[in-house]
Amino acid sequence: MSGFELSRHTPILGLPLWALIGVCIAVAAALLLSLCFVLLRKGESSRTAAVPIAAPKEIQEVRVDSDHASEPDPSPPTPIDPQKPHFSPTKERNGAGSPDAAPGVSRLGWGQWFTLQEIMAATGQFSYENVIGEGGYGIVYRGVMQDGTQIAAKNLVNNKGQAETEFMVEVEAIGRVRHKNLVRLLGYCAEGVHRILVYEYIENGNLEKWLHGDVGSRSPLTWEIRMDIMLGVAKGILYLHEGLEPKVVHRDIKSSNILLDKQWIPKLSDFGLAKLLGTGRTHVTTRVMGTFGYVAPEYASTGMLNEKNDVYSFGILLMEIICGRRPIDYNRPPSEVNIIEWIKIMVSSRKTDEVVDPKMPEKPSPRALKKTLLVALRCVDSDSQQRPTIGHVLHMLQVEDFAYLDVNF
């Protein structure tokens, strides 16, 4: 085509032929580019939908307990008192768990993690000579760590079912608790099938040994020391009932679960039987826990669990500390087998001075003895609704002017 023809004006807007050809080429190119862009976007969208989103490693490793995943919490959220410790689900701590842990057991994220090798070395390979006690589901061993720290290692002997539940309850419930009258949990071991709780070691052992063991004709537990033990235990229980959220019912308050340090300061131990309660709720359980002679009658017969069960057990403990007798003792005459019935007989006969532990160096004043016996009897009232709270019990033990002291007995 000659240059003259390309320069010839066309009827379309009077444009030269070459300009019209250029416009057509530009429009065609624009349409082609638009079509390619649309096809490219569609291709990317299909590929994105086909590729799964990669979750972070931390999210992939989280496992949910199937027993609880489908169960909604029946209780509404409870406002948290900022002054009270609040227990929330623990976060996983890198390195704190064992890769070969039992299936279904979550790795724990609280406290110091001890290896099985460390604990076995500290306890002499769980030597029988180092056994210092036996509790619910576990044997307690005395041990010494490499740095010289003395420990009490509770080795759970049954690592399936309830024992695993007990382990989780103990660690979650008391791992962060700090109170003068509660035994402190230092850490744990969760290695393979082993579940071990590591507590602080308390030098003077348990109260049961000092009340019923061979301590000679004169007990080192004076009335003043015994009163301090009563008050200290009451303060520990009060903290469990009113100082934590959710509240804790111990369920197994007894003399063998009261440990004494060098200054005879009592520390409540063995939270393996503890039951966490939601605020304002009474729990019904088909598995009654506790020790014969200390268990509240309504709990034993119905499984109804609340703080008043602990108050009953504490009342039995008060009687045991005063009298130096076991709650149930079949070696005594029939009328003296049950400590509650025996004390009631002695009180009604106005022989209260005869209930005092004969090994006590000095007897308490009649007024102090009378007050303590009255408090103990109120704690073991057969009607749980009539029992005082542990806070009220503590107040009655502390005050000098007690309203019921005018009762004649």
Annotated binding residues for ATP, written as ranges, equal 154
Give one DSSP letter per residue of 230-249, joined into a string: HHHHHHHHHHHHHSSBSEEE
Helix (H, G, I), strand (E, B) or coil at 187: strand
Q: Phi and psi of 404, rounded to 5°?
A: -85, 5
Residue 252 among the catalytic residues:
yes
CA angle at 181 for the pair 177 and 184, rounded to the nearest 5°: 40
Residues 6+ apart with CB under 8 A from 171: 108, 110, 111, 185, 188, 197
| Spatial separation of the C-alpha atoms in residues 210 and 226, rounded to whole Å | 11
Residue 265 per-residue DSSP state: -
| Spatial separation of the C-alpha atoms in residues 212 and 334, rounded to whole Å | 20
Cα–chain-centroid distance for residue 308? Answer: 19
From 81, 214, 252, 310, active-site residue: 252
Beta-bridge partner residues of 141: 131, 153
| Spatial separation of the C-alpha atoms in residues 354 and 24, rounded to whole Å | 121
Helix (H, G, I), strand (E, B) or coil at 354: helix
Residue spans of alpha helices (H) in 158-242: 162-174, 207-212, 223-242
| Spatial separation of the C-alpha atoms in residues 391 and 238, rounded to whole Å | 6
Q: Phi and psi of 378, rounded to 5°?
A: -65, -35
**Could you tell me the CA-to-CA distances from 361 to 216, 217, 256, 397 in Å, in that order?**
11, 9, 22, 21
Residues 6+ apart with CB under 8 A from 328: 292, 293, 337, 338, 339
Amino acid at residue number 20:
L
Specify binding-site residues.
154
User: Tokens 């029992």, residue?
Assistant: 387
Just list the catalytic residues.
252
